[in-house]
Structure 1
Amino acid sequence: MASSERGVIARHAATVLVGQLAVMAFGVTDTIVAGRYAEGALAALSVGSAIFISVYVSLMGGLQALLPVWAELHGARRTSEVGRSVRQSLYLCAAAIALGMALLLFPAPLLRWTEVPPAMRDEVEAYLQVLAFALAPALLFRLFSTLNQSLGKPQLVTWLQLASLGLKLPLSIWFTFGGAGLPAMGLVGCGWATLVVNYTMLGAAVWLLRSDPFYTGYRFWQRIEPPDWQQLRRFARLGVPAGLSVLVEVTSFTLMALFIARLGTAASAAHQIASNLTAVAYMMPLSLAIATSARVSFWLGAGDATQARRACRRGFELTVCFALLFAGGMAALRWQLAGIYSANPAVVALGATLLLATAVYHFADALQTLCVFVLRCYRVTVAPLVLYCGLLWGLGLGGGYLLAYRGFGHWSAMPSPLAFWLMGALALAVTAGLFIALLLATLRPAPGRPRLA
C-alpha cells in the first residue's frame, strides 16, 4: 500500500512537473533571448518579471487553494457538485483578474518606491502593460489546471503546456529581434509572445472542456448560477489567506530584484540568473506538493484520515530526496549553468557565486512548500501566513536589505545580491522547521477531534 501511494503521487507529480517546466521554460526563453538582445534588456526583464510574478503567482495561489475543495468532492464521489463549485469559482477568478490588471497597468509608484533606476522604468512599464492583458487567460487556464489536478487527471494540462512551449520559443525570438517585416521590439516582444500563447492555451482548454467525454459527468456547461455568497465566503476563507501567503512568499523572492536593481546592470543580470534557475528548480517541490495535497484531500473526502496521513508521509519522503538532488546539482554545475545565460565574465562569476546560496535556499523552500500545501488540506491557513510575514518579509527580505546596504552590528554592509540570498535562505530554513512542527501537530490523531472539511 505504501509503495502504491508513493507511486500514485510520483506519477501525478511527474506529469505536473513536465507541464510546469514547460511553463517555466517561458521565463528561461525570455531570459536567454533578452540577455542575447542586450544586457539592459536582461536587467529590465529582471525587474519586470519580478513584478509580474509577484502579482500573477499571488492571485494564482488564491485559485490554487481551491484544489482541496474539489479533491474532497471527488473523493466523496459528489460529482455533480464539482461543476457547480467550479462555476462559482469564476466569480473569484474575475475579481482576481480585475485586481491584477490594475496593478500591472500602473506600476510606477512601486518602481519609484523601490528606487528602480529611471533609465529602466519606461521599458519595464511597457513590458508590464502588455502582460496586464495576458493575465486574464493565464488565471483562467490556472483554474482549469487546478481542476484537473484535483481530479487526478493532469495529463491534458501537461500536453497543452508542452505544445505552448513550441509556440512561445519562436514567437519570443521573432518579436524581440524582428524579421519577416516585423520590427525588433526588444523586451516588449517577449511580453507580446506571452500574450499570444496564453490566449491560445485558454482557447484549447475551453475546447477540451466542451468536447472531452471525461468532463461530461461534472456538468460544467450549465448556466452559471448567481453568486452563492456562503460558498464564496468558504472559498475566501481558504483562498485569501493562501493567496496572501503566496504573496508574502513570492514577494520575499521577487522584491529582491527591485532592491538589487540599484546595484547596477551586472548585479541585476546575475541575480536574474540565480532567480530564474531557482524558480525552475522550485517546480519539482511544487509538483510534489500539488500531487500530495490532491491525494491527502481525496482521502479526507473519502473519510480515511489514516490513508491521508500516509499519503503525506510518502510525499515528504519524495520531496526530501529530490530537493537534495536538485540542490546538489545547482551547486556542482554553477559555472556551467551561469554561462548559459550570459557571455559577460563578471555576470557569470557573480551568478555562479549566488548559486551556492540558492542551493541552500532551494532545499529549505522545498520542505516548506510541501508543508504549506498539506496544511491547506486541513484548512490551516492563518498560522502559515503569520509565519511568512514575520520570517520571509522580516528576516529574509528586511534582513537582506540591511545586510546589503547598512550592515549588521560589527558586520559592514555587503553591497551584493549575495546578501539577499543568504538572508533569504536563513529565513526559509527557519520557516521550514516551524512548518514541519506545525504539520506534525496537525496530523497527530487525537480522540474525538473532528475532521476538518
Structure 2
Amino acid sequence: MSKPAPVPATVSPPPGGRGQGFLADVRRIMPLAWPVVIGQIAVLAFNTIDTVLVGRHSPQDLAAFAVGAAAYVTIFVGFMGIVLAVSPIAGQLFGARRLEAAGDELHQAVWLALGLSVIGCTLLLFPQPFLWVAKASPDIAERVRGYLLALTFALPPALMFTVFRGFNTAVSRPKAVMALQIGGLAAKLPLSIMLVFGVPALGIPELGVTGAGVATAIAMWAQVLLAFALMRRDSFYDQFKLWGRGLHAPHREALWGLLKLGVPMGLAILVEVTGFSVMALLISRIGTLPVAGHQIAVNIVSMMFMLPLGLANATSTLVAQRIGAGDLTDARRLGWHGMWLGGMIATALGSLIYLLREPVISLYTTNAAVAAAALPLLAWVVIFHLADALQTIAAFVLRAWRIATLPMFIYAGTLWGIGLFGGYALGFNLWGGTPDMLQGAPGFWAASTCGLVVAGVALTVLMQLTLRPTKPAA
C-alpha cells in the first residue's frame, strides 16, 4: 500500500477549514454529498430509460440489451475505477495548494482515459465471450453486436467525463458534475425515443436496441464537450493552469501513480459489480419468479446505495484535502465522522424500508407471486444496507490515503468467496442440510449480507490501523 506524499509544513489550509466536532463535520460533508446522490440517480436513470423503451420495442431487443449492457458495464466500470484515481491524488494536491500540479493530474488522467478507451472499444467490437456465456441465439447476437458497436462511440466520452467527475469531486465542485449528469439525462430521453422507435417524418429509422446505444453515445459526447467548455469558461479553473498549451504531454511518473492507485480501485469495483451480476445469473437458473423478485430487491437497495455513495465521495474528498494540507488530525476525525454519519443514516433508511417493504414492493409489481418472491429478500435489508454503507465509506476513506490494494483482496475474499460461493452453496443446497428458508434466492442474499458484513469489519479494522496516529520519534 502506498503512502501519501509528505507535505511541507508551510502549506496553507484548503478551503473549508477545520471542523470542531461531529455536527461541524456533518455540515462540511453534506453540501458535497447531496449533489453526488442526485447525479448518480440521473446516471441510473440512463439504464432505466433504455430498459423500458427497448422492452416495449420487442422481447428480442430487451434480451440483446440485457447481454450488451452487462458487457458494457463490466468493461466501463473496471476502467472507470482506474480513471477515478485522479480524485484522491488531485484532492491531496488541492489541499496542499499545489494547484498547477492538481491541474496536470487532470491532463494525465485524460491520457489514461484515452488509452483505456482503445482497449475497451476493442473488447466491445469482439463480444464473443459475452455471447458465449449468455448462449445467445444468432438473432440476439446480431442485435448485441449492433448495440455494442454503437457503444464503442460512447466509451471514450464516458471515460473522459469520469476524469471531469473525479477532478471536480477532488476540488469540491460536485454541483457542476450533477448539473451535467442531469443535462445528459434530459438529452438521453428524447434521443432514445426517436432512435429506438424511429421518426419517419424526420427520416430517422427504427433502430431498436442499437438506437439506444446511439442515443447514449450522442448524450455522452454532448455531456463531455459541455464539461470541458465549462472548465474553459469558468474562472474557478484558471488557478489550475489547465489551458494555454493544449493537452499536457504524458508523464510516465504521473501515469504510473494513477495506475498504481487506479488498477486496484478498478478491480475492487469490478469485483463488487460482478459479484452481484453473477448472483443474478445464478438465481435465474432457479426460475422466473425468483429472479424477478431478486431484480426488484436489487433495484431497491441500488437506489438506497446512492446515499452512502454520496457520503463516501464527500468524506473522501475532504479527507484527501486535509491530508494534502498536512492536517492529519482533522483528516482522521473526518473519516470517522463520515463513518458515523453513514451508519446512522443507513440504519434509519434500512429500518424504514424494512417496515414499509410490502407497500414499497407493490410500487414495482401487482403480481402477487413476484411480490412474494421479493418480500423475504428484504428481510435482510437493514443489515445489508448498513454493512454496504460502512464498507463503502471505509473503502473511499482508505483511497483518500492512497490505499487500495489490500481492500481489493478483501473484496475478492468477501464478495466472491463468502457472498457468491456461499450463496451458491446455500441457494442450491450444495452440501445438503440447508434450511428451506435459506434455499434459492434467500440463500444468496443471506450469504451476500454476510460477505458485506465481513468486508465492512475488515475495512474498518484496516481504516483503524491506517488512521492510528504514529508516535513521534523520541
Equivalent position of 1:399 in the other structure: 422
Question: 1:16 pairs with 28, 36, 49, which one?
Answer: 36
- Structure 1 residue 443, shift from structure 2 partner: 0.9
- Provide the C-alpha distance between the structure 2 equivalents of 1:65 and 1:405, rounded to a whole number of angstroms: 39
Q: Is the 8 A contact 2:83 2:262 kept in 1?
A: yes
Check 1:32–1:149 CA distance in 2 against 1; reply closer, same or farther (3 A cut): same
Distance 1:374 1:170 in 2: 39
Code of the aligned partner of 1:5: D
SS of match in other structure, 1:200: helix
Deviation (angstroms), 1:89: 1.6
From 387, 411, 422, give the equivalent of 1:364.
387
CA shift digits 1:359-399 (9 cap, x unpaired):
54332111101001111122222211111111111121222
2:262 is the counterpart of 1:209: no
> Identity, % of aligned pairs?
38
Counterpart of 1:375 (choices 386, 398, 420) is: 398
**Secondary structure of 2:242 counterpart:** coil
1:43-74 Cα deviation digits (max 9, x unpaired) = 55444433322222221111222211111111
Which of 328, 353, 361 matches 1:330? 353
2:373 maps to which residue? 350
**C-alpha distance 92-237 of structure 1, shift in aligned 2 (>3 A):** same
The code of the aligned residue for 1:440 comes to Q
Which runs of 5 or more residues in structure 2 are unaligned?
Answer: 1-19
Alignment root-mean-square deviation, CA: 2.7
Conservation of the 8 A alpha-carbon contact between 1:331 and 1:355: yes
Equivalent residues of 1:104, 1:129 under 8 A apart: yes
Q: Does the residue aligned with 1:428 lie in a helix, a strand or coil?
A: helix
Deviation, 1:424, is 1.5
Structure-2-length-normalised TM-score: 0.86
1:112 to 115, 120, 132: 132
Q: For residues 210-250 of structure 1, give each alpha carbon's deviation from its aligned partner in whole angstroms, at most 9, with x where no partner exists.
A: 21111112111233343321222222211111111111111
Quick one: structure 1 residues 37 and 323, their matched pair in 2 at CA, closer, same or farther if it must change by over 3 Å? Answer: farther
Q: Tell me which residue corresponds to 1:156.
A: 176
- State the secondary structure of the residue aligned to 1:408: coil
C-alpha displacement at 1:149, in angstroms? Answer: 0.7
Name the CA shift for 1:225/1:205 in 2 (closer, same or farther; >3 Å). closer
Q: What's the counterpart of residue 4 of structure 2?
A: none
SS at match of 2:247: coil
| Residue 133 in structure 1 maps to residue 157 in structure 2 | no
Moved more, 186-195 or 19-28: 186-195
> Which residue in 1 is equivalent to 2:216?
194
| Aligned 8 A contact 2:197 2:208 in 1 | yes
- Determine if the alignment matches structure 1 residue 437 to structure 2 residue 461: yes
| Matched-pair contact (CA < 8 Å) for 2:67–2:130 | no
Q: What SS class does the counterpart of residue 88 from structure 2 fall into?
A: helix
Larger Rg: 2
Q: Give yes or no for the alignment of 1:28 onto 2:48.
A: yes
- Whichever residue aligns with residue 314 of structure 2, its letter is A
Conserved? CA contact 2:426–2:440, under 8 Å: no
1:74 aligns with 2:94: yes
Segment of structure 1 superposing worse, 270-279 or 426-435 = 270-279
Say if 1:430 and 1:412 are closer, same or farther in 2 by CA, change over 3 A: same
- Residue from 267, 271, 283 that aligns with 1:248: 271
Query: 1: CA distance between counterparts of 2:48 and 2:394?
Result: 27
Q: Give distance in 2, aligned partners of 1:188 and 1:92.
A: 28
1:314 aligns with 2:337: yes
- In structure 2, give the amino acid aligned to 1:382: T
Higher mean C-alpha deviation, range 139-148 or range 49-58: 49-58
- 1:22-101 alignment to 2 at 5 Å? 22-37=42-57, 45-101=65-121
* Counterpart residue number, 1:280: 303
CA–CA distance in structure 2, aligned partners of residues 318 and 13 of structure 1: 12
Contact kept in structure 2, 1:338 and 1:351, CA below 8 Å: yes
Q: Deviations over 1:310-360 (max 9, x none)?
A: 111221122112212332343344444444445655444434443444554
- Contact 1:116–1:258 (Cα < 8 Å) also in 2: no
How far 1:290 sits from its partner (Å)?
0.9
Per-residue CA deviations over 1:257-306 (Å, capped at 9, x if unaligned) read: 33344445555444333333332222211111111011011111111111
TM-score (norm 1): 0.89
Query: Quick one: structure 1 residues 207 and 305, their matched pair in 2 at CA, closer, same or farther if it must change by over 3 Å?
Result: same
Distance in 2, matches of 1:431 and 1:31, equals 32
Q: Which residue of 2 aligns with 1:385?
A: 408
